Amino acid sequence: LLQEAKASQSIARAMADGSLDAEVVIVGGGIAGLATAVALQRAGVAPGGRGILVLERHPELRATGTAMTVFPNGWFALRALGVAHKLTSRYDVIEKSRVTNLETGTTQVFRFAGNKRSDEVRMRAVDRKALLDALADELPPGMVRFSSKLVSIDAIPATSGSSEATVLRLEDGAVIRAKILIGCDGVHSVVARWLGLSEPLRSGRSTIRGLSVYPSGHGLKQEIRQYLSNGIRAGLLPISNTGIYWYLVNNTIPQEKVASADPVKILREVTENLGAHLPAEYLDVVRNTDLRNLSWAPLLYRNPWGVLTGKAARGTVTVAGDAFHPMTPEMAQGGCSALEDAVVLARALSQAATPSEGLAAYVAKRRGRATWLVAVAYVSGWVQQGGTNVHAAVGWVVRLFRDWIFFRFVFPRLADTMWYNCGDLVPCKNHTE
């Protein structure tokens, strides 16, 4: 009780000294955060963006990663957000994937379903920065507050004279009072930790990502090329006529701690160690990498049970995107599911009598699908990797399943389930007042 009293006194002093008031505060200016802001506008929760504040800890919009594979479910969400048309004309449809097992020399080819469906929502790879810019263009100037790192969160209970609110303290000393708080602050979310969600887990796998640029054109076909070997999975994916996104997934090794902060060391690790045995075509692309777009990081995810049962909303506070359901990238659903979250969240708020009811409805709607995506992504990656850090005999069985069953029958059907449509946004009465 004494601690609560001191906290209340501290909040009262901060409010007396002057603070910002906002109807909705979104922590994080990435894909999830900007998409949520756009969705709230379009749903009429905050017409014209009035009352919305997006807190971005970096001094400018910053894309984590180089490219993003957008499956149909992502395009349905982008269409609901009103920005799909800005991107579909810039990026070609991906219809085919080639998977080559370097140990056996066999190549399997499969096509992504949907050749009989609308071109607008078919699978494409897009530049993450282009997607961020497309979303940001929908927002009024000044909505995003840069260099704003969240430090702490305090809840103010409802009283007879006021509704419940949340007080946020930033690293620069600013204090913000929000009626609704939405954490879109990534895998290591401050908001998720405050809610009590379980900490993300290490998958035992890491990924190196890069972007190679060819001003005169690269000449590769518009298809995914993936190479498999013992403990290594690498791939190439053209995102335009001049850019190729590449990746290498490895079972986590100690060298990462030393090399991950130095792009030159990362490149050397790929070409001389981890990927030295990969095809010349792949290594040529890697050597042409723009070092500014090179990273090496462990793949994290939230335990599916934690996603299904964890406290993802408390009163007028919730989370979306990686802050809610971080997942490994094997199903390319991290960004797509964040876009779905934005649409479902805005629609739930617009239709609810109170913000807390809207957030509770949003979490109830998203839990099941998010849990499914996290679990499927993890298992899919584990199988494609040939089993992560397993006994040799188990690994042999996993690789046999992968080569003869998974890529032939399972993965194409999993990809087809990404034709999920999260629905449209229809302007409704503003319930944040």
Q: How far apart are CA 384 and CA 398, in angstroms?
A: 9
pLDDT at residue 151 tops 90: yes
Sign of CA dihedral 248, 371, 360, 358: positive
The torsion angles phi and psi of 15, rounded to 5 degrees, stand at -70, -35
Q: What is the reported pLDDT for 117? A: 58
For 175, half-sphere exposure in the C-beta direction (CA atoms, 13 angstrom radius) is 15
The answer to whether 302 and 326 have CB atoms below 8 angstroms apart is: yes
Beta carbons within 10 angstroms of residue 254's beta carbon: 7
Burial of 283-294, coded b for 16+ CB within 10 Å and e otherwise, reads bebbeebeeebb
The band of 1, judged by pLDDT with boundaries at 50, 70 and 90, is: very low
Q: What is the reported pLDDT for 395? A: 87
Q: If you average pLDDT over residues 92-117, what whole number do you get? A: 83
CA distances from 7 to 2, 155, 158, 180, 204 (A): 9, 10, 16, 20, 40
Instruction: Delineate the domains of the chain, giving CATH numbers in brackets.
Output: 1-63+126-201+303-419 (3.50.50.60)
Q: What is the reported pLDDT for 5? A: 43
Q: How far apart are CA 28 and CA 369, in angstroms?
A: 23
The band of 6, judged by pLDDT with boundaries at 50, 70 and 90, is: very low
pLDDT digits (tens, 9 = 90+) for 218-242: 999 999 999 999 889 999 999 989 9
pLDDT digits (tens, 9 = 90+) for 22-47: 999 999 999 999 999 999 999 998 77
Give pTM, 2 decimals. Answer: 0.91
The band of 162, judged by pLDDT with boundaries at 50, 70 and 90, is: low
pLDDT at residue 332 tops 80: yes
The band of 325, judged by pLDDT with boundaries at 50, 70 and 90, is: very high
Beta carbons within 10 angstroms of residue 414's beta carbon: 15
